[in-house]
Amino acid sequence: MARETWGTRIGFILAAVGSAVGLGNIWRFPFQVGQEGGAAFMVMYLAFVVLIGFPAMLAEFVVGRKTDLNAVGGIREWAGGAWTYLGGLFVLIGFVILSYYSVVGGWVLRYVVGSVTGGYTATESAAAYFVSIASGTDALLFHAIFMLIVIGIVALGVQQGIELGVKVMVPAIFVIFGILAVYAFGLAGAGEAYAYYLSPDVGYILENWQSLVPAAAGQGFFTLSLGMGVMITYASYLSSDENLALDGVSIVVLNTGVSILTGLIVFPILFSAGVDPATSGAGAIFISVAEALIDLPFGQIVGLLFFLTVAIAALSSAISLIEVVVSYAIDEYGMDRMRATGIIGVAIFLLGVPVTVNTIFVDLYDIFAAQILLVLGGILLMIAITWLHADKAVGELEKGIGDLGSIGSLWIWIVRVPVVLVLLVSLYLGITGYIDFLQGPFAEYLGSL
Ligand code: PFF
């Protein structure tokens, strides 16, 4: 049977943007900015996206299109031997990320319902409302609903499911967020928020680089869906006359645009309501945005639009996470798409159940996945692509672009040395930071049981 392909070129770009744009931009990005000192984080994050994310994305594209295979088969065919285990790491990462991603997606769905019923505007405190839905029965129920929707879309297949889905979702995100950013611009705290968010303090960066670097690396990989083969899988559905560099630029620009736009919505709302953006942690956006919405004109409608858009963005990313695992099962084990999606979906749901018990598990899963697993996957992938088969990589990139000349080797050398070195430093700092988390907040939690 012929392998499925994208119906149109724009279908691939939209799907990749649909994967990139998600809770990473809307839920994770603002609280990373808040925790890491505002504009200082922005600078580091943008540098990571442009200098490391973009070349790394091209590397994944090349493997996918060259091999026409899923992430696991693709990397096996590309590099062979022990590199096959890297494919196993991809599948593991997909499992781990989607398991808690779905819980957070469930919170979002709960807030959509809460916007309609007036749930979070009717309670005395937005924080108490968040706590009441973030763990326990509600969290479990909406985690299940989120996974069911994902399973439903992916079971329908590449063209009918994913491509059609994102064609509606992605433009909707831009329209609704644009409107909300204009709305936020008119708020009293907007000026203060823009200063906090957009004008970096060099002294702060120098003092805090040890936490800024792994945070920016983790966010850079997470937000661009890199380090676990999503972009290998998606590029495998492409034909070879595509200009991969141009596609990559479009995806990076659109994705970064959504993050910046999110900040332009979230921070003015927070500052106007007198909420400190450093109020960190997984609940930050829910608690503070809801808190702000209570007092704002048309708060309930703005809230509904906001959370509905976040839900759409989360679903299109979740689809790509499960697709890595599903396409692996289909290609490698000849499983039928429906069956593969069902079995894998249920397994991921179960892995996410602990996260519905206490929100500290969100950090436990999230820091591990973003700052350790994705960065590790990224390092190994970059080595396999640029150190083992540079010629093959450049040759593949040239298809659809033409002769790259010295730009081709520049790309290879950027990835080979600076990208890999910076990622190694990030990984080291990420691991030490995670150990601190395990010995600190997480040990405290376990002790309190
Ligand atoms: N990029 C997605 C987001 O920002 O929400 C999340 C994600 C999807 C991460 C796919 C990693 C991945 F492979």
Q: DSSP states of 293-329 as a string?
A: HHHSTTHHHHHHHHHHHHHHHHHHHHHHHHHHHHHHH
How many angstroms is it from 54 CA to the middle of ligand 1? 15
Q: Would the CB of 23 count as within 6 Å of ligand 1?
A: yes
H/E stretch holding 119 reads helix 119-122
pLDDT of residue 335: 92
Q: Would the CB of 308 count as within 6 Å of ligand 1?
A: no
Do 61 and 249 contact (CB within 8 A), yes or no? no
Q: What separation in angstroms does the CA of 304 have from each of 114, 120, 136, 307?
A: 8, 11, 23, 5
Q: Which atom of ligand 1 is nearest to the CA of 93?
A: 13
pLDDT of residue 159: 57
pLDDT of residue 4: 60
The single residue listed with the structure tokens 């479990």 is 140
Token pair recorded at residue 328:
């692996």
Q: Would the CB of 316 count as within 6 Å of ligand 1?
A: no
CA 137 to chain CA centroid, nearest Å: 26
Q: Would the CB of 318 count as within 6 Å of ligand 1?
A: no
Topology, domain 9-447: Amino acid/polyamine transporter I (1.20.1740)
Q: Would the CB of 222 count as within 6 Å of ligand 1?
A: yes
How many angstroms is it from 316 CA to the middle of ligand 1? 9
pLDDT of residue 1: 39
Q: Would the CB of 230 count as within 6 Å of ligand 1?
A: yes
Which residues are CB-neighbours of 307 under 8 A, at least 6 positions away?
Answer: 108, 111, 112, 114, 115
Domain ranges of the chain: 9-447
How many angstroms is it from 272 CA to the middle of ligand 1? 30
CA distance 237 to 217: 28
Name the closest-CA residue to atom 10, ligand 1: 225
Secondary structure (3-state) at 176: helix
Do 180 and 302 contact (CB within 8 A), yes or no? yes
pLDDT of residue 43: 94
Which residues are CB-neighbours of 146 under 8 A, at least 6 positions away?
Answer: 102, 103, 105, 106, 109, 314, 315, 318
How many angstroms is it from 82 CA to the middle of ligand 1? 26
Q: Which atom of ligand 1 is nearest to the CA of 29?
A: 4
pLDDT of residue 281: 64
Query: In testing the pocket of ligand 1, which one of 222, 374, 376 has its CB within 8 Å of the most ligand atoms?
Result: 222
Q: What is the block-wise mean pLDDT of the chain (449 residues), using blocks of 10 residues?
A: 60 84 95 92 96 94 91 91 91 96 98 88 77 94 97 76 69 82 88 94 94 96 95 85 91 94 88 77 75 76 87 90 89 89 97 96 95 96 93 92 91 93 97 97 95
Which residues are CB-neighbours of 5 under 8 A, at least 6 positions away?
Answer: 158, 237, 238, 239
